[in-house]
Amino acid sequence: MSSMPRALVTGATSGLGREMARQLGGRGWRVAITGRREAELAETARRVESAGGECLPLVGSVTEPEVVRRHYAVIREKWGGLDWAILNAGVGDSVDARKLVAETYHRVFATNVGGAVNWLEAVLPGMIEAGSGTVAGISSLAASRGLPGAGAYSASKAALSTLLESTRVDLLGTGVDVVIVCPGFIRNGSGSPDEDKGKPFLMELEDGVRHILAGIDRKKRVVHFPWQLSYLMRYVVHNLPDSAYDWLISKAAGRRPK
């Protein structure tokens, strides 16, 4: 049986998830990947294996508890468990509270929070029994405050961060580490000027993933970057008085505060 570390990456059909899986493959790791789109997941698996890793693609949604349980059963049968679980699957929609659609919020929370809870339920008993393991959840600097047009996304990432913080405290002394990852803007798409507009301190995908994996390697409680944006959001914007925040964010969003 291989002695190489075993990692799970959810939401690995593109972007951050695909690149995290590829870079872990470059370390020679065994990487289980999940996602809803079979063809895209197969492409990620090909990249993991081309980089030198072993890959186990598992097609399905993190929002379905029975699917998650089945996926973890396959991992346990094949590899005996996991050393890392990177809970990356997430969605985000631009929503304006003046045109609020509840279903959008439910859908975002079902993936960004519910999907993480489903996988926590699956992986934690085995890690606790083994007395070791690392769970990392991909949150966002958007969790720091409620951003305009991003109520569902900001709230879901704030919920994920708080969930993981509580989980970390509950697991103290078990040998299981919990890492909260709060990146800023990372280029995930085509890199077109329109797509990149309004994203300060935008990082290239490969660099962003290197920061994430380095932080998980060090078992940092919270991984936040790039420093220019993270310190601004976490230590300045987060602590602004509400009236000052409303005025500032309204100006930034081009809205007139009343």
Q: Give catalytic residue positions.
A: 153
C-alpha 62 chain-centroid distance: 12
Supply angle C-alpha 43, 142, 192, rounded to 5. 50
H/E element holding 134?
strand 133-138
Q: Provide the token pair at 37.
A: 């789109």
Q: Provide the token pair at 61.
A: 């949604």
CA dist list (Å): 75 to 18, 84, 88, 225: 18, 12, 17, 31
